[in-house]
Structure 1
């Protein structure tokens, strides 16, 4: 499955660094001398971390090395299409690309990416002594070939999709009293799904009673976008004890009859719970992707929900974009019995560890210069401000930086949660057929969201369709 590691020649521009004392030149500046004035073209997803790369890191890299970075920041769907089209055509348009954790295994199967481990080994003159994979969080494992352990991407952002709640509402004494009177237990971040449901009902009614635009929960349930599949499969299902999208990784089957879990009782309970929340969610929820749910929460329209960590920083700190600055709390999501234990021993997980890396397409003709760029963004000293600006952490040492510790207080303890409990979260399953099965299952979820199928019908049909499709793709015969 590993991509070829043979490096194509880099286009070298003979414009060396002006003569100066070599002791004052950084390793990267010295190594970059043959490549000065080269332009590296990259494409990345429109995320806060990518914005920081373009605004701060790219100019700084050019100043230090003389290598210019041209970075396209595009929506999620365009990022996928541009990247895949370029690599399939072997055109060499892009010298580095954003690799979402979800898609890495498909890229490896297609031999799209340069083997960074081998390239560094074969080019010691380009291998910075400061580049140490051991400094990264466990998220770096998501960008290694499972068969060889070789690295194919350098993490540039990583975050949890976490449970969030309105601290100002949850800590209001009159609200606490009313909730305790109604339900017989104290108001707090939901630990069980019954509690989550109670809180959703309570705050939806509270909004109606007080003439407020307030509902009880976010629901990322766009009825025409894969975002709904991702929320259900990577946030809701695992907290009900259904892992790997309900597909048995040993035989690639999804139906219960074939030892899968996609149409299991737990999965049907999960979908029933999630769809039921729509009556306690803002009306825009069936049009909401990850972008809209973040905006909904930032507008103060919901009391709790699940939000990608990349958005937590600006929701909690940016008054130009958020109505709830200083009012955001984060916690582990509610789970069914046994899920936390499963996650603790590596048998399961409580939610999605999301993010992406920059990798070098095998079609790039400027691979050596791109390798220097990837090592530049991996330096420890560029991490803290990047983290504070966009809630992303990819290196262990970043958590203990004073700037991040101070920011942690402003974002409801998000970084503390990520440091302490990140091990309980996991990226997408290592399926090369990620996109095909995502789109297939999503089509049944859309029908369930629209009320055209019951949760039971949707998952029974989806599981059967997955079994059939995987056989066609060469899996699970």
Structure 2
């Protein structure tokens, strides 16, 4: 009888262990959970490439890719909430470079994910942009810059060439300097066409476009100097705002310039209302599709100190609180090998080797122009500070609109400096 009770107790204990182990196998992050959750901006290249590669990754690893696509701002909002709560719903995300300072505490260091040879294949600025406190926090998906797009037929027309030389005293050519850009814009402003545009619409697109010209005027550290001091009252900032203000005063840009940014400029350009545009490089593909063979691409124009621009890279990151960091890092390596798909989808990529493959293909004429611009002596990143979005939206964007509307650049920059210092708590 006693032996029977002992045996029954042993059986019950074993059953309890089986149930316990079974429950453990159903928990999040267990070995039976073969799903990797990826957060991307909906409707863009990140979403397209993630979908295109999901089946191949599952075939190689057994892990199914679950894609969560949300609007641009939703990517940041979701990640910020998860990181603050220290509880990750997502394992991997593709983010804008601007978000690194705010999200850094919740991102896994990735310095050992790629080989040294693979990292040497990064295009310029990409490693620096994703490095916070000495740690690489992202693997690049693509980078971009503004370049010059122009209507080739206008520049190649013999009558235009003769008339331009007569009016300005030198040959008509694709502009490489501020002065040439202004002259060409004046020349082509007639009969319902404008020479170019300026970005005056509220938001980061207009601010980054202005900062392109700040780099060209000679600043060596945008908004904050090497010691972290606000430097926007220096001469390059005044010169760049005066340059944009002159384009408005000369009426070589559309009258509704305060409501114009990238998309609006591209539409005007494709409809033959602009002779030139300084646009993100990937816009070349849509323009060439509308006007095949008629669009030219050249590097960003240069100011006194040379070619300069503000890059616009995106990165894949791993959430520090993910329960599947090993497979997430494997996914990042896998996607880096698929980097060419971003070139096919968006027209830009992150790897030098991909750029070199496309650089002499006529349908990708923008690639050479982007590469030259990224290599520009004055090309540099925006400051890596948590308050950047606030500074951009609450200070720099309104300031730019005031200057484009006629306010004195030096006066507005002085006020903006005070506002930035207040945001920074100084």
Superposition TM-score, scaled by structure 2 size? 0.83
Residue in structure 1 matched with residue 136 of structure 2 by the alignment: 151
Task: Compute the displacement of 1:130 (Å).
Answer: 10
2:106 is the alignment partner of 1:112: yes
8 Å Cα contact 2:222-2:381 kept in structure 1: no
Task: Compute the displacement of 1:241 (Å).
Answer: 1.5
Task: Compute the displacement of 1:446 (Å).
Answer: 2.9
2:196 is the alignment partner of 1:241: no
**1:287-326 equivalence runs, <5 A:** 287-316=259-288, 318=289, 322=290, 324-326=291-293
CA RMSD of aligned residues (A): 2.8
Work out the CA distance in 2 between the residues paired with 1:385 and 1:371. Answer: 19
User: Structure 1 400/194 Cα, relative in aligned 2: closer, same or farther at 3 Å?
Assistant: closer
Residue in structure 1 matched with residue 311 of structure 2 by the alignment: 353
- Aligned to 2:144, what secondary structure does the other structure show? strand
Residue in structure 2 matched with residue 409 of structure 1 by the alignment: 362
2:181 is the alignment partner of 1:196: yes
Task: Compute the displacement of 1:143 (Å).
Answer: 4.6
Superposition TM-score, scaled by structure 1 size? 0.75
Task: Compute the displacement of 1:307 (Å).
Answer: 0.8
Residue in structure 1 matched with residue 128 of structure 2 by the alignment: 142
User: Structure 1 164/360 Cα, relative in aligned 2: closer, same or farther at 3 Å?
Assistant: same
Task: Compute the displacement of 1:74 (Å).
Answer: 4.1
2:207 to 213, 229, 238: 229
Whose Rg is larger? 2
Task: Compute the displacement of 1:73 (Å).
Answer: 4.1
Task: Compute the displacement of 1:359 (Å).
Answer: 0.3
Task: Compute the displacement of 1:405 (Å).
Answer: 4.4
Q: Deviations over 1:13-53 (max 9, x none)?
A: 43xxxxxxxxxxxxxxxxxxxx63x1413123754x32431
Residue in structure 1 matched with residue 295 of structure 2 by the alignment: 328
Work out the CA distance in 2 between the residues paired with 1:286 and 1:131. Answer: 45
**1:148-227 equivalence runs, <5 A:** 148=134, 150-205=135-190, 208=191, 212=192, 214-222=193-201, 224-227=202-205
2:118 is the alignment partner of 1:132: yes
8 Å Cα contact 2:40-2:47 kept in structure 1: no
1:375 to 333, 347, 357: 333
- Aligned to 2:189, what secondary structure does the other structure show? helix
Higher deviation after alignment, 426-435 or 190-199? 426-435
Structure 2 portions without partners, runs of 5+:
1-26
2:392 to 432, 438, 443: 438
Dislocated runs of 4+, deviation >6 Å: 128-131
- Aligned to 1:42, what secondary structure does the other structure show? strand
- Aligned to 2:206, what secondary structure does the other structure show? helix
8 Å Cα contact 1:101-1:142 kept in structure 2: no
Task: Compute the displacement of 1:113 (Å).
Answer: 0.4
User: Structure 1 104/144 Cα, relative in aligned 2: closer, same or farther at 3 Å?
Assistant: same
User: Structure 1 89/45 Cα, relative in aligned 2: closer, same or farther at 3 Å?
Assistant: farther
Structure 1 portions without partners, runs of 5+:
1-8, 15-34, 121-127, 255-259, 341-348
Work out the CA distance in 1 between the residues paired with 2:385 and 2:276. Answer: 31
8 Å Cα contact 1:135-1:396 kept in structure 2: yes
Task: Compute the displacement of 1:274 (Å).
Answer: 1.1
